[in-house]
Amino acid sequence: MPGTSVLDDIELIIEDIGGGGKPPAGREGGDSGGGGRRVPGGSSARKYAIAIALGMVAILVFFMAMVAAFLVLRMKNPQWKGVPLPALLWFNTIVLLSSSGTLEAARKRLGATNERGFKNLWLLTTALGMTFVLGQILAWRQLVSAGVYGSVSQGAAFFYVFTVAHAVHLLGGICALLYVGCRKFGAATVTRVAAAEVTSYYWHFMDALWVFLLALLYLGK
């Protein structure tokens, strides 16, 4: 039975039904929509979810390429000089993790149509995100004033590249948070609920990525 969702198509390929057959009756042509999607708000919301998933794959590959280089260089170099991580970084991590928590709380409020609760928590999330970035800048300044520049050693260079790249991507996430928080969603093709869900994927991904990078830098120093 030719379906319109990707999962149906995968079944078609695997089970070799042989093509042909009537499409489901009673719906006008055009939209590919489809049942079985989890994101509310229509097929246009699903396309944003897929887009952000592919975007996360690309960003992951970007970081993993650098991590691969980091691992190889670290293993091959007996005189590796790592960077002592400033204590500020642990505080920043807690800030970022709590921002993920407030983000989820905000989404729950939105689901319960608590507009005010959502707005407050969303604002808090954005503020926590900005605090994280400011904290990173402070940490870089601390290291620079201690004489740890990127040119000092490969360890320092990787530290800066990882943290700067992560912060730049997080800034993109903050822009998304601001967009979802400030935009009027009345006549939009995507509901606020869907937009918040897609943003949450990205934000949690950035969170997890940071924890991973921090662990890598901590264990690799």
Partner 1 sequence: MRQWRNWQTHQLEGLAVAIPWRFESSLPHQAFSNAFVISHLFFSLLLATAHFQRAPDVSYVPQAAVVTAMNQLDNQFGDEAAGRPRGAFGGILSSDHKSVGLRFLWLAQLSVVTGMALSLFMRVQLSRQAAGSLTAPSTSEGYAAITLLHGSLMVFFVLTAAPQCGFGFFLVPLQIGAREMAFPLLSGISFWMTAASLVGITVSAFLAPLAGSTLWLLGVVCFSGGMILAALNLSVTVLEQRARGMTLPRLPITVWAWFITAILSLLIFSVLTASSVLLFSDRLAGTHFFGVAAQSSVSVMSIWQRWFWFFAQAEVYVAMLPCFGIVTHLLSIYSRRPLWNERLAVLALCAAGLFGFCIWGEHMFASGLNPYTPLVFAMLASSLGAPSALLLICWFGTLWGGAIRLTTAMLFSLGFVSLFLSGGLSGIFLARRELAGGSTGDALVTGHFHLVMGVAATFAILAALFFWFPKMFGRRLNETLGKLHFWLTFAGVYLLFMSMHWLGLVDRASNVTSVAAIHGLRTFLTVVALATVAAQVLFFVNFFWSLLRGEPCHAKNPWRATTLEWSVASPPPGENFRGGVPVVFRGAYELGVPLAGEDFVPQHLAPEELAKLR
Segment (H or E) for 62: helix 43-76
- Regarding 189 and contact with partner 1 (CB under 8 A), the answer is no
In the bound state with partner 1, the residue whose beta carbon lies nearer, of 31 and 115, is 31
Residue 179: partners with Cβ closer than 8 Å, 6 or more residues away: 195
Q: Which position among 58, 113, 116, 187 is part of the footprint of partner 1 (CB under 8 A)?
A: 58
- Regarding 63 and contact with partner 1 (CB under 8 A), the answer is yes
Site string for partner 1, 148-177 (x = CB under 8 A): -xxx-xx--x--xx---x------------
Contact 3, 9 (CB under 8 A): yes
Nearest to 137 by CA among 208, 145, 213: 145
Q: In angstroms, rounded to a whole number, what is the distance separating the alpha carbons of residues 170 and 173?
A: 5
In the bound state with partner 1, the residue whose beta carbon lies nearer, of 36 and 111, is 36
In the bound state with partner 1, the residue whose beta carbon lies nearer, of 66 and 105, is 66
Shortest distance in whole angstroms from residue 184 CB to partner 1: 19
Q: What is the DSSP letter of 219?
A: H
Query: In the numeric block, which tokens belong to residue 16?
Result: 């070799």
- Regarding 71 and contact with partner 1 (CB under 8 A), the answer is no
Q: In angstroms, rounded to a whole number, what is the distance separating the alpha carbons of residues 205 and 208?
A: 5
Part in contact with partner 1 (CB under 8 A); list of ranges 49-57, 117-125, 132-140, 201-209: 49-57
- Regarding 27 and contact with partner 1 (CB under 8 A), the answer is yes
Q: Which position among 2, 40, 111, 172 is part of the footprint of partner 1 (CB under 8 A)?
A: 2
Residue 149: partners with Cβ closer than 8 Å, 6 or more residues away: 156
Nearest to 63 by CA among 202, 164, 198: 164
Residue 171: partners with Cβ closer than 8 Å, 6 or more residues away: 133
Q: How many residues bind partner 1 (CB under 8 A)?
A: 53
- Regarding 56 and contact with partner 1 (CB under 8 A), the answer is no
In the bound state with partner 1, the residue whose beta carbon lies nearer, of 29 and 186, is 29
Q: Which position among 35, 36, 40, 69 is part of the footprint of partner 1 (CB under 8 A)?
A: 69
